Amino acid sequence: MAESNPGKNRIKSLEHHLEEENPVLVDVVRSFRELDLASRQMGFFSKEQSHAFSVPWWPLISVLGVYSSGKSTFINHYLDYRLQNTGNQAVDNKFTVICYSGEDRVRQLPGLALDADPRFPLYKIAEAINAATPGEGRRIDAYLQLKTCPSEKLRGKIIIDSPGFDADAQRTATLRITNHIINLSDLVLVFFDARHPESGSMNDTLETLVKGTIHRNDSNKFLYILNQIDMTAREDNPEQVFAAWQRALAQKGMTAGRCFTIYDTEVGMPIEDEGLRERFLRKRNADVARIQERIEEVRVARAYRIVGMLGQKAVELETEVLPRIEAFLKRWRRWVCWLNLTVFGLLAACFLGVTLWAGYWKGFSLQLPYMERVMGNPWGKWTLVALLAALVVYIHLRVRKFAANQVMRSVLAGIDVKEGHENYRRAFMKNSRWWRSIFRHKPAGWGRRNKARLARLASDANGYVQKLNDVYANPAGKPTADIVPGDTAAENGEVFPDALNGPENACP
């Protein structure tokens, strides 16, 4: 029954979520289901498994950094929705995973909802916490919560708001979650506070989120944001604050970074001097626009990547999984033939030896006791034949099983994808079931129909790319995903000094 199959229900709920957020991807889920069917027929997948579960459907944007630096205010502003609490004391003490929902109200769910649902990026996070701090995984609700929000800006993405970074208060579990989130994120916004450039939280953030991340391969997913820069207008020292921040970043090894300076126009202090206000606003608007552009880019890039994964998985099934099953079959066939020869040869030799020793051979004629009586009786004759046949079949089946286990072990040892082992084992077992002839070269479930299915899925993936192009291509016809991260002046840290310090924007 459909209702009792958790895998099927999960796919349905995935489709339901995507219907609301990105309809092109709903078709992609259907294609993944076709791929599941082929994988299941080949014995590679169980009923509960789906390729769709290993796809990260939503891009993840995490907002980390100094406490009270305006992380939650920025998220509220971005969403155009008062979702997160804000305030001058440390407000957030948990990570909040924020995702879209069509309901016109906010729902708040405990961390367990995230830990148990593979649709979310923090699926099984309790295990990771436990690995760092044994026993702490049980207290998952103390670290995480899920909020759904109807803001249109959230469609097709997940944002994570975090507690302010403060090493004193950071227990191992929190650090572990932070690292986990960083690894999963498509974009990490690291917030600094222009009001307190020397704070302990600032130093901890620099140490962990700048020094600890600049050498990563994916370091260009980090954007460094000096927030609340409006406060420096009052004190008349924006360049000093900016320069001090840049120096601090440089001390941690960051030479060319993606730096932005922004403030929130609603809660920021009003800047009285009109010229100054205009300059601050222009710079702030340009940087906020660029940050938002980056957020949009990761959403688009993720959609293309998912479609790419469909084509890749279809190809992998034919070019990686299938050859491994074939290799298993070939070795197994060879083993079974040799073992059969050896076992039956040995049995024949033993029989010969024993009967010779017992003197049952008269020349070339074997004269076993009672043989005449058994052969003379029609029942006795057929019973003997049946018993011998049963013995031969039994030995052959044992040989097949033994050979399958040996070959399986050695073939699996050559496959370094640990999670895939169970799948290969299942496929090998399906191919070595007792009624399948060892001389069948074609693996189970692999026929003309599945071959055509995989070819069709690979070509469907190209069709989806075109559909995505239709949705995302800008008026000039260039998909926004083509914009290479780090190719703008803002991301190379060039805009701020010129914008505020150049002749046109010189500070008063």
Ligand X SMILES: Nc1nc2c(ncn2[C@@H]2O[C@H](COP(=O)(O)OP(=O)(O)OP(=O)(O)O)[C@@H](O)[C@H]2O)c(=O)[nH]1
What residue ranges bind Mg ion (CB under 5 A)?
Answer: 71-72, 91-92
* Binds ligand X by CB under 6 A, chosen from 111, 156, 164, 257: 164
Closest CB to ligand X among 265 and 405? Answer: 265
Tell me how far apart the alpha carbons of residues 449 and 75 are, in angstroms, rounded to a whole number: 49
Partner in contact with 90, chosen from Mg ion, ligand X, none, beta carbon below 5 to 8 Å by kind: ligand X
Closest CB to Mg ion among 67 and 332? Answer: 67
Query: With CB under 6 A as the contact rule, which of the stretches 89-97, 106-114, 149-157, 295-303 interacts with ligand X?
Result: 89-97
Task: Please report whether residue 270 would count as binding ligand X according to CB under 6 A.
Answer: no
Closest CB to ligand X among 286 and 407? Answer: 286
Closest CB to ligand X among 68 and 423? Answer: 68
Token couple for 498: 């010129």
Task: Please report whether residue 285 would count as binding ligand X according to CB under 6 A.
Answer: no
- List the interface residues with ligand X, window 442-461 (CB under 6 A): none
Task: Please report whether residue 70 would count as binding ligand X according to CB under 6 A.
Answer: yes
Q: How far is CA 480 from the centre of its chain?
A: 23
* Binds ligand X by CB under 6 A, chosen from 50, 69, 199, 450: 69
Please state the closest distance from residue 88 (CB atom) to ligand X, in A: 4
Strands 144-149 and 95-100: parallel
Q: Which residue has the tokens 């929000």?
A: 149
Contact assessment for residue 395 and residue 344, using Cβ atoms and an 8 Å cutoff: yes
Task: Please report whether residue 71 would count as binding ligand X according to CB under 6 A.
Answer: yes
Report CA Rg, the chain: 33
Secondary structure of 446-505 in HEC code, one letter for each residue? CCHHHHHHHHHHHHHHHHHHHHHHHHHECCCCCEHHHCCCCCCCHHHCCHHHHHHHCHHH
Q: How far is CA 433 from the centre of its chain?
A: 33
Please state the closest distance from residue 62 (CB atom) to ligand X, in A: 13
DSSP letter string, 417-430: -GGGHHHHHHHHHH
Helix (H, G, I), strand (E, B) or coil at 389: helix
Please state the closest distance from residue 215 (CB atom) to ligand X, in A: 26
Residues 6 or more apart whose Cβ sits within 8 Å of residue 342: none
Please state the closest distance from residue 1 (CB atom) to ligand X, in A: 46
Query: With CB under 6 A as the contact rule, which of the stretches 130-138, 240-248, 267-275, 299-307 interacts with ligand X?
Result: 267-275
Closest CB to Mg ion among 91 and 109? Answer: 91
Task: Please report whether residue 295 would count as binding ligand X according to CB under 6 A.
Answer: no
* Binds ligand X by CB under 6 A, chosen from 144, 231, 306, 427: 231
Region class of 235: left (phi > 0), else alpha (psi between -120 and 50), else beta: alpha
Tell me how far apart the alpha carbons of residues 189 and 224 are, in angstroms, rounded to a whole number: 6
Helix (H, G, I), strand (E, B) or coil at 66: strand
Task: Please report whether residue 228 would count as binding ligand X according to CB under 6 A.
Answer: yes
Q: Which residues bind ligand X (CB under 6 A)?
A: 67-73, 86-88, 90-92, 163-164, 227-228, 230-231, 263-264, 267-269
